[in-house]
């Protein structure tokens, strides 16, 4: 017995079989159509939402939730004003985090980086900023420029203005400037960066080491390079003190030029302690050198001398 074949070779005797076979494909096609429509609708709604002011993050409304202890309120106000000039971003923007980070990261010279962005519906964001901390100053004419550890100039103010900060920001003496510094740019003189690195190292000292630094009454930094024939040695950072004495600190541990022959900060502090025991406040000294194996000093009008190891001095005293 033969079966009748319908058009196209289909089995006319079992039409349900073909309906059952076609049902999964039809359902899949319907699902694709529905999802496509939903996707188009979602994109359309997102486009509408991006234009809706209710979902726009406005940097002009920035509020500081937390701030580093060193940041004074006037500087926080400056940063907030700079942020207020940034472009608004819709919270539904596909590149919301990167767009907001790029906008805020370039908004102020005080901002070194944006380390995090968190979307907070409907129209807010939590942004983590890395701020530049001024450590030294460049004085040029009637202006003073504050510089961070990377050598970036973050702020300009009148030279005789009161400091906004509760820690000392010392000027770098002896600079020869080809042009006036520009806020937001990196200082051209590498000696500024060397001094800023030492300033950061000193500022991080805890008591009693910090007290020893205060006893020297530093008023400025100075970077000196020794020249022997055609060879110019790497710059050594000095502290200029109120008494006129120079304290040779050398290079900071963070300096790329810090080498095996450089003295660690702990040893420098111990050298300074011993010199201050003999010359309180560095009175009577022209120079104190901390960047040697032994602490060196030069009395006013005298030759360079050094203090022997402490244990050797104790043994000599016992022997006498």
Residue-wise pLDDT for 220-233, tens only, equals 999 987 554 544 45
pTM: 0.79
Asked if residue 275 lies in contact with residue 289, where contact means CB atoms within 8 angstroms, the answer is no
The Cα–Cα gap between 181 and 194 comes to 17
Write phi, then psi, for 223 (nearest 5 degrees).
Answer: -110, 120
φ, ψ of residue 124 to 5 degrees: the values are -135, 165
- Domain coordinates in residue numbering, the chain: 14-51, 56-131, 136-319
pLDDT of residue 279: 96
DSSP state of 72: -
| DSSP letter assigned to residue 235 | P
Structure-block tokens of residue 103: 């906008």
What pLDDT does residue 260 have?
Answer: 86
Per-residue model confidence as pLDDT tens digits over 151-183 = 999 999 999 999 999 999 999 998 888 888 999
- In 180-312, DSSP assigns E strands to 218-224, 227-228, 231-232, 236-241, 246-250, 285-289, 296-299, 305-306
Q: How confident is the model at residue 64 (pLDDT cuts 50, 70, 90)?
A: confident
Specify the pLDDT at position 188: 87
Sign of CA dihedral 196, 198, 204, 207: negative
Q: How many residues does the structure list for the chain?
A: 320
Residues 188-215 have a mean pLDDT of: 95
Q: What is the pLDDT of residue 19?
A: 53
Q: Are the CB atoms for 159 and 136 separated by under 8 Å?
A: no
Highest mean pLDDT out of 207-216, 249-258, 310-319: 207-216
- What is the reported pLDDT for 313? 40
Chain segment 264-302, per-residue pLDDT in tens:
999 999 999 999 999 999 999 999 999 999 999 999 999
pLDDT reading at 22 higher than 90: no
Give the pLDDT confidence score for residue 10 in this predicted structure: 52
Nearest to 292, CA basis, from 276, 308, 279, 310: 308
CA distance 142 to 72: 23
Cis status, amide bond into 122, omega within 30 of 0: yes
The pLDDT, as a whole number, for residue 276 is 97
Q: Between the CA of residue 209 and those of 69, 194, 206, 310, what are the distances in Å? A: 21, 21, 6, 18
CB 172 within 8 A of CB 222: yes
Question: Which residues are 173's β-sheet partners?
Answer: 222
Residue with tokens 């300033």: 199
């Amino acid at each position: 017995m033969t079966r009748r074949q319908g058009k196209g070779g289909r089995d006319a005797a079992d039409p349900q079989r073909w309906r059952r076979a076609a049902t999964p494909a039809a359902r899949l096609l319907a699902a694709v159509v529905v999802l496509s429509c939903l996707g188009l609708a979602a994109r359309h709604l997102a486009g509408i939402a991006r234009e809706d002011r209710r979902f726009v993050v406005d940097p002009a409304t920035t509020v500081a939730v937390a701030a580093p202890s060193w940041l004074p309120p006037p500087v926080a106000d400056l940063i907030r004003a700079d942020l207020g000039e940034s472009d608004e971003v819709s919270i539904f923007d596909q590149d919301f985090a990167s767009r907001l980070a790029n906008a805020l990261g370039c908004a102020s010279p005080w901002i070194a980086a944006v380390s995090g962005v968190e979307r907070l519906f409907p129209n807010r964001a939590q942004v983590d900023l890395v701020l530049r901390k001024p450590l030294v100053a460049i004085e040029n004419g009637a202006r003073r420029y504050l510089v961070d550890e990377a050598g970036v100039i973050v702020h300009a103010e009148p030279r005789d203005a009161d400091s906004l900060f509760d820690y000392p920001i010392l000027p770098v003496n002896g600079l020869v400037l080809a042009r006036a510094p520009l806020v937001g740019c990196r200082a051209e003189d590498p000696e500024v960066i060397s001094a800023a690195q030492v300033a950061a190292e000193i500022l991080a000292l805890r008591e009693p080491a910090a007290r020893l630094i205060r006893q020297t009454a530093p008023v400025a930094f100075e970077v000196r390079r020794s020249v022997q024939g055609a060879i110019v040695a790497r710059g050594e950072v000095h502290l200029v003190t109120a008494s006129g004495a120079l304290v040779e600190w050398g290079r900071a541990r963070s300096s790329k030029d810090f080498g095996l022959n450089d003295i660690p900060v702990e040893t420098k502090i111990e050298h300074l302690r011993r010199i201050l025991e003999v010359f309180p406040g560095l009175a009577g000294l022209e120079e104190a050198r901390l960047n040697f194996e032994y602490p060196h000093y030069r009395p006013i009008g005298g030759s360079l001398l050094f203090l022997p190891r402490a244990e050797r001095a104790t043994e000599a005293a016992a022997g006498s």
